Every structure is written in structure tokens, then in C-alpha cells.
Structure 1
Amino acid sequence: MARPRRSESTRQELLELGVELLSVNGYNGTGLKQILDAAGVPKGSFYNYFASKEAYAAEIIEFYMGNLLRMFDMVIDNHTGSPVQVIRFAYRNMITHLEEGSCRKGCLMGNMVAEIASSSELCREVMCTMYKGWRERFTLLLEKGQQQGEVRNDMPAETMTDLFWQQWEGALLRMQLEGSTAVLEDSLELTLDRLFRP
């Protein structure tokens, strides 16, 4: 018996739904039945798209981070300001988006790292790959800022990139705890205006 043809629109819908559900409920708090009911997809059809829930989660992470990286690339390519202005613009847009979501979601990848990086090698590998993609972009911006005298040059750009990621993810956790994006604004300004300045 022939397997049903895959529909790319259904696959896209499942990935978008997965981002929403995993952002709010986490991996362990999101059941496969909940996903299928929300999408109106039979269980058998789900496995035409994804080999398992773990494989689905890995693709959700790649989909989510891929979208963020494409948006970051658009800002980098189209913003006419300095490297620090580009970073500030991109992250203030992110803060606005998080505020519109009532501060409930945080960063899907950061949440997934905390929840399943130690138990799913597949998801961990995808998260490492996506982090490296972000790290390369951010480091290039800081190196450009160093060349222009806008960013301190007594510390490697890679080190500052890692510090930014670590403080931003910590600030996202506090945002979820306190229900306010004020901590993100403070974190962004402290990093850009004090830690990174020459």
C-alpha cells in the first residue's frame, strides 16, 4: 500500500506549531497527541514527516533558529548603522517580540538546552550547530566594531560573543521568572554601553 504524499504546507504547520507548543510547555510537557490534535494530523501521517518526537524536536530547533538567523542576516545586510547599532536594533526588536508574548516563552533553544541537551544527542548536535552559526555572525560584527574603534580590542571578539550569549540567556530566564522585559533592556545596555565599549 502506497504511503500518503507529504504536504510541505503540513510539515511547515507542524514545525510552526511545535515552536509555539515547545516554547510554552517544553519538550516533556508537550505530548504527541496534543500536537496532532492541534494540527488535525493523524498519528500515522505524523511519521511520514518525522521519524520520532525527538527527530521532530531537532527539526523544530533548526527551524526556529534558522528563522532567527535569517532575520539577523537581514538586519546585518540592511541596517546602515555601526556594528553596535546593528546589535542594539536586532535585540531591541527581539525584546519587543518577547514583550508581545507576555514574557512567557523566552528563547526556545535556551529552554531546550536546559531541558534535553543532556538526554538527546540528536538535539544537542543541532543546537551546537545553530549556536555556531549565531556565534560566527555576532563575532564578525564585534570584529568590525573593533576595527572601527567602537568596541574594545583588549579582549578577543569570540570571548565577548560568548559572554553576550551567556548573559542574554541568563537575562531571558530572569524575564520569565519576573514577567518583565526590563531585565533584558538593562542587560543589553550594560553589555553594549559598558562591557563592550573601548
Structure 2
Amino acid sequence: MLIMKTESPCVRQHIIDTAKPIILGKGYAAVGLSEILSAADVPKGSFYHYFKSKDAFGEALLEHYFDDYLAWIDALLADDGTPAAERLMRYWQGWGNHQACDKRESKCLVVKLGGEVSDLSEAMREALNRGTAAVVRRLAACIEAGQADGSLATIDDAHAAAETLYQMWLGATLLSKIRRDDSPLRAALQSTRQLLHLA
């Protein structure tokens, strides 16, 4: 009797999980499909079963990254009885710690790929745009919660403040990569405290 082998949906996730640290190390354009498939030990046919192109794969990689990242933010910023300002500062301190460490898997995929792929793939640019907008919305909500519980001073536009902070931290992370030290991240933390009137 012939038994047909069916491909597990886990194969799709396995390809994404295997590719992420490789792309975090080398970038998107420098990594070919053959390298990803060899590392994942998956035949090319399986790749095209789950992704119609490398760009579709890149979009799925970013969507998965943001799904995980947003779940982490939601857990970190959730009301646990501590003031919202404290929860917000935990986020920024965690960002600085993750980006300053040597673990490749903890690095920011937005910083790594944002400048590279936004001109190469509209689908990937849109995935980055959707994901970063969702991050900013969560930060703005936490700022508003801080104003409501009295742990943050009044800020006229919480969303604009969240956008400014997020942009500053993305820039600081990029500068840390360029300088190979964490001084831009430490400066961003100090500036965050000042902008939120927590200094």
C-alpha cells in the first residue's frame, strides 16, 4: 500500500525560524534561498509550497516577527498593578538590554531590514509599516494609561510622543550597530526619561 507523505504546516514555521538568525546576521539580499533551504534541510519544492516567492517569504518572516514582538509588548505593558510609567520604562530598558547584548536572535529585525528591503519589496515595506504602526499604538496606549494613573505628566499628543520615542530608539539602535557600543542606547534612555518628565 502506498502511503502519501503530507507536509506538516510546521515546515513553514521551521523555514521561518531557521532563516531568521541567518538574515539577522547577513541581511536579506545577501542570503539566497539555497542557504536557507540547506540550513533548514528542506527541499526547494517545499519552500514554494508555502511561499510563492522569496519576497512572499520575507513578508511572512516580518509578519511572524511582529506577531511575536507584539505579544511580548502586550505582556510587558499589561496592567500588573504597577504604574504605567514603570511598565513603559521596562520596555525601553529591555530594548536597550536586548540590543546591547551579543545574541543575534535578540536583535531588531526592523533595524536590520528596514533600510534594505523598503526599496526592494513593496510587500515587505508594507509589513514593516503595519508592524511598526502597531508598536507605536501600544506605546501610545501605555502613555495614556500613565497619564490616567498619574504616573506620567500630561502630554498633549500621546501618539506623537510614542512615535517620536520609537523613531529615536530605532535611530539609536542603528547608531549602536555603526559605533559598536551602547552609548546611543544609553543616551536614548536618558532622553526618554526627559521627554516623559521622569528624569
TM (norm. structure 1) is: 0.88
* Structure 2, unpaired ranges of 5+: none
Match of 1:124 in 2: 125
Task: Check conservation: 2:25, 2:104, Cα contact below 8 A.
Answer: no
The C-alpha deviation readout for 1:84-123, integer Å capped at 9, x for no partner, is: 2112212322333333325797421232220111221111
Task: Check conservation: 1:83, 1:141, Cα contact below 8 A.
Answer: yes
Please say which of residues 75-84 and 112-121 is displaced more in the overlay.
75-84
Change (3 A) 1:104 1:60: closer
Backbone CA RMSD of aligned residues: 2.2
Q: Distance in 1 between matches of 2:21 and 2:85?
A: 30
Q: Distance in 1 between matches of 2:93 and 2:104?
A: 14
Structure number with greater CO (CA < 8 Å, separation at least 6) is 1
1:195 Cα deviation from its structure 2 partner = 1.1
Report the 3-state secondary structure (helix = DSSP H, G, I; strand = E; otherwise coil) of the residue aligned with 2:78: helix
Change (3 A) 1:87 1:164: same
1:146 Cα deviation from its structure 2 partner = 2.2
Match of 2:145 in 1: 144
Match of 2:70 in 1: 69
Q: Distance in 1 between matches of 2:197 and 2:12?
A: 44
Match of 1:197 in 2: 197
State the identity %: 26
Q: Across the two proteins, how many residue pairs are aligned to each other?
A: 195
Task: Check conservation: 2:88, 2:143, Cα contact below 8 A.
Answer: no
Task: Check conservation: 1:21, 1:30, Cα contact below 8 A.
Answer: yes
Q: Distance in 2 between matches of 1:105 and 1:114?
A: 19
1:169 Cα deviation from its structure 2 partner = 0.5
Task: Check conservation: 2:24, 2:104, Cα contact below 8 A.
Answer: no
Task: Check conservation: 2:96, 2:185, Cα contact below 8 A.
Answer: yes
Match of 2:158 in 1: 157
Q: Distance in 2 between matches of 1:100 and 1:129?
A: 27
Q: Distance in 1 between matches of 2:81 and 2:106?
A: 31
